[in-house]
């Protein structure tokens, strides 16, 4: 319990509030802290983005002649202090608060005001509203965090490319419907995984273009009330320059405040990546299943013991981590979609949860892709002996006989081989009427497929 001398009195439009003397925030932050104890804190990446937006806004207001240079310099210096990594504990508010994010916007304003000696509303929030600052900050956070994800995807693609090139001469049995199918190169299987990640990364980059469009300058409802001429243009310029990123001023800020479609499309691209990661991880754990009683066509790194009771057991734990993350991303996509469909008239009021889920999805995908690449994919090794064994015993090489004896006769050959536990060659010698030399030629041609 704190004594009375450990508090200071702050005030807002509702009256006085006791704030711990050692904290930088003010009355509105304290009210929110006391009224909302629900879930996790607002992502710090979002806080940093809000601070970055405030920095750009101060410079834009100064360029417009609305904010005196002395105050601008003080606010910019305060922003730089926070962005250098200090004062992280000054932003304690949770995600589940007001749906516009007003309390977090004011939390940042109050901390900046105390550090700079300016006013939280009149100076730090000049020409701004939570309603344009908060969605702008979600977009900025998304662009910045995506750089880390794409770096992780590039490393993933590079590792798959290395495997594809290394094992180009290895042929194995293909599978459809979990049943044996015709032969394929192992490199083709890996190449399909690689293409999926390349396409997913491209979709993310394309979707990010819509996120680069910012509603900054729309203030309360999109009309730009209380902003000077060219303010939004200058603010977006300052933001782009400071972050060395390309951002665009929205030409319809009513839309930018009321709709979250760019974020829905972007998170949909994250979901697409999660779906592909789920597929690849499942392929890897099926192919590595065993080691004696499963498919066992590849081996993966044995990173840790897999059982507390079965000695020597090793499990595909990286695959399991990736697939659990994929489940979370799919759930997050539903949350983002539902949240984006809500809110009435001029403002979406589900923005904190949208920010939270996008932040979580970007973090989880970046971390899981990095871990999967480093601790699993890098160590994939084909069991060529097992692959060849399956290849030689597969009945689907009979497909190559269709041009010579017809589809129905080839189907009869497969059933005969299966019923009598014969190889395709043994069945063909009994049924096809072809010479052994021709049968060998057909089978070898089926196995030595084009790479």
Q: Please report, in tens digits, the pLDDT of each residue of the chain (451 residues total).
A: 556 679 999 998 899 999 999 999 999 999 999 999 999 999 999 999 999 999 999 999 999 999 999 999 999 999 999 999 989 999 999 999 999 999 999 999 999 999 999 999 999 999 999 999 999 999 999 999 999 999 999 999 999 999 999 998 899 999 999 999 999 999 999 999 999 999 999 999 999 999 999 999 999 999 999 999 999 999 999 999 999 999 999 999 999 999 999 999 999 999 999 999 999 999 999 999 999 999 999 999 998 888 888 888 889 999 999 999 999 999 999 999 999 999 899 999 999 999 999 999 999 999 999 999 999 999 999 999 999 999 989 999 999 999 999 999 999 999 999 999 999 999 999 999 999 999 999 998 888 764 4
List of E strands, 144-189: 171-176, 179-185
User: DSSP string covering 216-283, please?
Assistant: TT-TTTSS-TT--TTHHHHHHHHHHHHHT---EE-S-HHHHHH--HHHHHHHHHHHHHHHHHHHHHHH
- The arrangement of secondary structure in 4-126, i.e. its CATH architecture, is Orthogonal Bundle (1.10)
Q: Are 82 and 261 within 8 A, CB to CB?
A: no
Q: Please indicate whether residue 307 is annotated as part of the active site.
A: yes
Return the pLDDT at 312: 87
- Residue where the block lists tokens 């990594």: 85
The torsion angle over the Cα atoms of residues 370, 371, 376 and 377, rounded to 10 degrees, is: -10
CATH fold of the domain at 133-167+181-210+254-384: Fumarase C; Chain A, domain 2 (1.20.200)
Catalytic residue among 11, 119, 158, 307: 307
Q: What are the boundaries of each domain within the chain?
A: 4-126, 133-167+181-210+254-384, 394-447
- List beta partners, residue 407: none
Return the pLDDT at 4: 64
Of 126, 124, 51, whose CA–CA distance to 91 is shortest? 51
Return the pLDDT at 405: 96
Return the pLDDT at 307: 85
Q: Are 241 and 172 within 8 A, CB to CB?
A: no
Question: What is the rounded radius of gyration, in angstroms, for the C-alpha atoms of the chain?
Answer: 30
Contacts of 356 (CB under 8 A, 6+ apart): 40, 42, 43, 95
Q: Please indicate whether residue 11 is annotated as part of the active site.
A: no
List of E strands, 2-56: 7-12, 15-20
Return the pLDDT at 446: 84
Return the pLDDT at 449: 62
394-447: CATH class? mainly alpha
Catalytic residue among 13, 84, 177, 308: 177
Q: Give burial (CB, 10 Å; 0-12/13-18/19+) of 95.
A: buried
Q: CA-to-CA distance for 125 and 110, rounded, in angstroms?
A: 10
Would you say the pTM of this structure is higher than 0.85? yes
């Amino acid at each position: 319990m704190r004594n009375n001398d450990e508090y200071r009195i702050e005030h807002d439009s509702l009256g006085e509030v006791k704030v711990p003397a050692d904290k930088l925030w003010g009355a509105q932050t304290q009210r929110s802290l006391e009224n909302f104890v629900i879930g996790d804190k607002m992502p710090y990446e979002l806080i940093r983005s809000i601070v970055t937006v405030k920095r750009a806004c101060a410079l834009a207001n100064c360029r417009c002649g609305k904010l005196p240079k002395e105050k601008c310099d003080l606010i910019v210096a305060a922003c730089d202090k926070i962005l250098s990594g200090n004062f992280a504990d000054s932003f304690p508010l949770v995600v589940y608060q007001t749906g516009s994010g007003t309390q977090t916007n004011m939390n940042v304003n109050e901390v900046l005001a105390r550090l700079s000696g300016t006013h939280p509303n009149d100076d730090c929030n000049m020409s701004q509203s939570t309603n344009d600052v908060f969605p702008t900050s979600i977009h900025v956070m998304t662009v910045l965090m995506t750089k880390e994800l794409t770096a992780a995807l590039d490393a993933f693609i590079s590792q798959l490319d290395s495997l594809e090139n290394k094992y180009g001469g290895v042929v194995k049995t293909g599978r459809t419907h979990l049943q044996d199918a015709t032969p394929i190169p192992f490199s083709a299987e890996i190449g399909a995984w690689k293409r999926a990640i390349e396409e997913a990364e491209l979709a993310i980059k394309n979707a990010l273009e819509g996120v680069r469009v910012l509603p900054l300058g729309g203030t309360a409802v999109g009309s730009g009330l209380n902003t000077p001429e060219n303010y939004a243009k200058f603010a977006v310029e300052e933001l782009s320059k400071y972050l060395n990123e390309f951002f665009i001023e929205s030409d319809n800020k009513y839309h930018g405040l009321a709709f979250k479609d760019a974020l829905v499309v972007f998170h949909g691209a994250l979901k697409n990546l999660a779906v592909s990661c789920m597929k690849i991880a499942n392929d890897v754990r099926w192919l590595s299943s065993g080691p004696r009683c499963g498919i066992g066509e590849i081996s993966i790194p044995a990173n840790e013991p897999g059982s507390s009771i079965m000695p020597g057991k090793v499990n595909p734990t990286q695959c399991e981590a990736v697939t659990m993350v994929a489940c979370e991303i799919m759930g997050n996509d539903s949350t983002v979609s539902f949240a984006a469909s809500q809110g009435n008239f001029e403002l979406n009021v589900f923005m904190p949860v949208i920010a939270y889920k996008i932040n979580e999805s970007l973090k989880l995908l970046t971390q899981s892709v990095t871990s999967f690449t480093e601790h699993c994919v890098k160590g994939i090794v084909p069991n060529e002996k097992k692959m060849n064994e399956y290849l030689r015993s597969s009945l689907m090489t009979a497909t190559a006989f269709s041009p010579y004896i017809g589809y129905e006769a080839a189907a009869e050959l497969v059933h005969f081989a299966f019923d009598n536990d014969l190889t395709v060659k043994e069945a063909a010698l009994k049924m096809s009427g072809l010479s052994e030399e021709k049968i060998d030629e057909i089978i070898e041609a089926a196995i030595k497929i084009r790479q």
